[in-house]
Chains A and B, each alone.
Chain A
């Protein structure tokens, strides 16, 4: 019995008791509450509560808080991290999708229209902001040669049309400047234009005319419908 008392009163035992029931619970709890998000009031609450808990119970009480903090605090942290990441991930995925998706290759008819524009401009490159380029861009986007789902956001925009015009113009035999790496199709259509300018221009008019006629038909139909609605409501 004496040896037990002596053992209990020994310095190492006293040190361990002080550590476990004095210093450690507070220190460990301060680490545990870090699992909760900064704005979570549980952080402050648990620290305040610790001093209401009798010293003898504190180590067990702190251990219980670790369990809750792991399942609740860490879960909240993960949820908020995922919520913060979600828009970034979606944006990155869509950026990757668009960057991977290229506009479908130009078809013969489309290149004929672009070539006809350069032909009418005296085989000179045309700026992307010129009205003719903008009009042709709109026309190409309206044509249903390529399904909408296969198109990139830049599909046949004025820059793309102007770029095709530059490829055609710099491939012309009379062009003295630096040539661009145009497509084989652009050179082929240019050769056809140089060989039969009138026929190719007529072909371009016919392609453009078909599109134009479809657009005009749609406009006329819309006008007719609007008119009939007005007439009906007036009656």
Chain B
């Protein structure tokens, strides 16, 4: 998978809570990557086996019958791959700005 700024930013946002569930919009806010780029990035990570996905349970109370949301969780393979990716980004001068800036922008 080609290493891009968006990939590193999403990786950092995912690794900030490596064991948790991640939701598309919130992840977009945390990483600072716009949703038009982030969903394709998540899709590629799924194809690589770095993420697994699922659908939240139907929300009845207070949910207003809204559609279920899709969540993403890091797999073991994903944790090691993204850990290595971030480590590489730390060493790579091209990603110094991304790594230096905190990925938690917007919703955190």
Residues of A within 8 A of B (CB): 41-42, 44-53, 61, 64-65, 67-68, 72
A68 touching B40 by the CB < 8 A rule? yes
Q: At the interface with chain A, which of B1-9, B11-19, B20-28, B84-92?
A: B20-28
Given A49-B24, A53-B25, A68-B40 in contact, is the A44-B67 Cβ separation under 8 Å?
yes
Roughly how many angstroms separate A64 CA and B39 CA in the complex, as a whole number?
11
Residues from chain A with Cβ under 8 Å of B26 in the complex: 52
Contact indicator B35/A47 (Cβ below 8 Å):
no
> Within 8 Å of chain A (Cβ to Cβ): is B94?
no
Q: Does B96 contact A (CB under 8 A)?
A: no
Indicate if the CB atoms of A47 and B36 lie closer than 8 Å. Answer: no
Closest to A42 in B: B39
A45 to B24, Cβ gap below 8 A? yes
Q: Is the interface of B mostly helix, strand, loop or mixed?
A: mixed
- Size bracket of the B interface: 10 to 19
- Considering only residues 43-77 of chain B, those with a C-beta below 8 Å from chain A are 43, 53, 55-56, 66-70
**B67 contacts A52, C-beta separation under 8 Å:** no
Determine whether the beta carbon of A64 is less than 8 Å from that of B66.
Answer: no
Residues A68 and B68 in contact, CB atoms below 8 Å apart: no
Known: A42-B43, A49-B69, A52-B26. 4 other contacts (CB 8 A): A44-B70, A49-B35, A52-B25, A67-B36
> Does the CB pair A61–B70 fall under 8 Å?
no
Q: Please tell me if the beta carbons of B39 and A68 are within 8 angstroms of each other in the complex.
A: yes
Contact at B67–A48, with CB atoms within 8 Å? yes
With A and B bound together, what is the CA distance between A51 and B63 in angstroms? 10
CA gap between A3 and B66 in the complex, in Å? 39
Q: Which of B34, B35, B43, B53 counts the most A-chain CB atoms under 10 A from its CB?
A: B35
The 6 closest A-B pairs by CB, nearest first: A48-B69, A45-B70, A48-B67, A64-B36, A51-B66, A47-B67
Give chain B nearest CB distance to A61 CB in angstroms. 6
Complex Cα spacing A52 to B63, Å? 11
